[in-house]
Amino acid sequence: MEKRKLGTIEVTEIGMGCMAFSHGYGQIPPEQYSIEAIQNAYRHGCTFFDTAEVYSPNLSGIGHNERIVGKALKDVRKDIVLATKLFTDSSDARRHGSVYKALRHHLEGSMERLQTDYVDVYYLHRMNSSIRVEEIAGAMGQLIDEGLIRGWGLSQVDADIIARAHRVTPLSAVQNIYSMVERDAEQEVIPFCLKNNIGLVAFSPVASGLLSGKITTKTQFEKNDDVRNWVPQLSRKNIEGNQPIIDLIGRYAEQKQATSAQIALAWMLKKYPNVVPIPGSKNKERIIENLNAADVILSDEEFNALDTALKSLKVYGHRGFAGR
């Protein structure tokens, strides 16, 4: 697989989102299955893995996902790029004595669970209004100086926050939601990142499965810990409204002898050189299918026609994050 840069950190152009082995998409697989799925992805050429301290069943604990990722990848640690995320706020900082000490406390927990002594990309999972982004950036800079992290990032942020943070400690990556049906990042965030050598790590790039074409108005999502029950884009009405987009992708899939999910990923790889999608799946075969999207190359002509057609179609419903 080709490589891309997040700041100075080189990653495979498609990474692997590991969240669903612990949270977010219904029943989690047995641990051994998840470990094998991650190792399969590595053997298939993927060397960029995404997790977070909060990815645990029902978000009710800390570290379930990091432990799985750590077990799966400890033997190949030097060959991979590991990204994880933390939450913090002013009371957390007060409890630990400073923002830096709070970050370091979270990082040490993550490193222990990941069985490593450094993290490649350390993200603030969400901005919290009680801490200024400059303080986070300063503390991240200290962690970089100490060799505990190689680079840092922010998640679900706008261009203003990115610019303020970047002035203090240059960012490696911004992890925002981005897909064919969630294109807000194209307005300001991606252009700013492109100009400033920041990678845009695209989460939910298959729009929680919608762009695979496998979800219909009849699909029953799981009852427990399944975000698809509240993702507005996946309401019956919006699935119906978005059908012309699904059909468009399906036509390209047929033409390119690819799957719809692969077209959705190939589209963003073609569109921007600094975008790195991290599709998530708890299914071994679909993980490989998504990685193989790197082999689906859209010509300039195909891409332009697809992108133009996409722009002419109304998107029904957002993916549904805070602030929307």
Catalytic residues: 55
Euclidean distance between CA atoms 286 and 44, whole angstroms: 12
* Contact of 226 with 178, CB cutoff 8 Å: no
Residue 66 identity (one-letter amino acid): E
For the bound state, the minimum distance from the C-beta of residue 68 to ligand NAP, rounded and expressed in Å, comes to 12
Three-class secondary structure of residue 180 per DSSP: coil
**Six-digit token string for 91:** 């009371």
Euclidean distance between CA atoms 279 and 208, whole angstroms: 9
For the bound state, the minimum distance from the C-beta of residue 306 to ligand NAP, rounded and expressed in Å, comes to 18
For the bound state, the minimum distance from the C-beta of residue 93 to ligand NAP, rounded and expressed in Å, comes to 21
Helix (H) and strand (E) counts in the chain: 12, 10
For the bound state, the minimum distance from the C-beta of residue 35 to ligand NAP, rounded and expressed in Å, comes to 16
Among residues 91 and 219, whose Cβ is nearest to ligand NAP?
219
Give Dmax over CA atoms of the chain in angstroms: 59
* Contact of 267 with 303, CB cutoff 8 Å: yes
For the bound state, the minimum distance from the C-beta of residue 287 to ligand NAP, rounded and expressed in Å, comes to 8
Among residues 94 and 272, whose Cβ is nearest to ligand NAP?
272
Among residues 55 and 192, whose Cβ is nearest to ligand NAP?
55
Three-class secondary structure of residue 243 per DSSP: helix
Among residues 102 and 202, whose Cβ is nearest to ligand NAP?
202
Euclidean distance between CA atoms 299 and 172, whole angstroms: 29
Cα distances (Å, whole numbers) of residue 319 to 186, 286, 316:
16, 21, 10
Among residues 102 and 227, whose Cβ is nearest to ligand NAP?
227
> Which distant-in-sequence residues (6+ apart) come within 8 Å of 192 by Cβ?
159, 162, 163, 198
The residue ranges that bind ligand NAP (CB under 6 A) are: 17-20, 25, 50, 155-156, 175, 203-209, 212, 214, 259, 261, 278-283, 286, 289-290
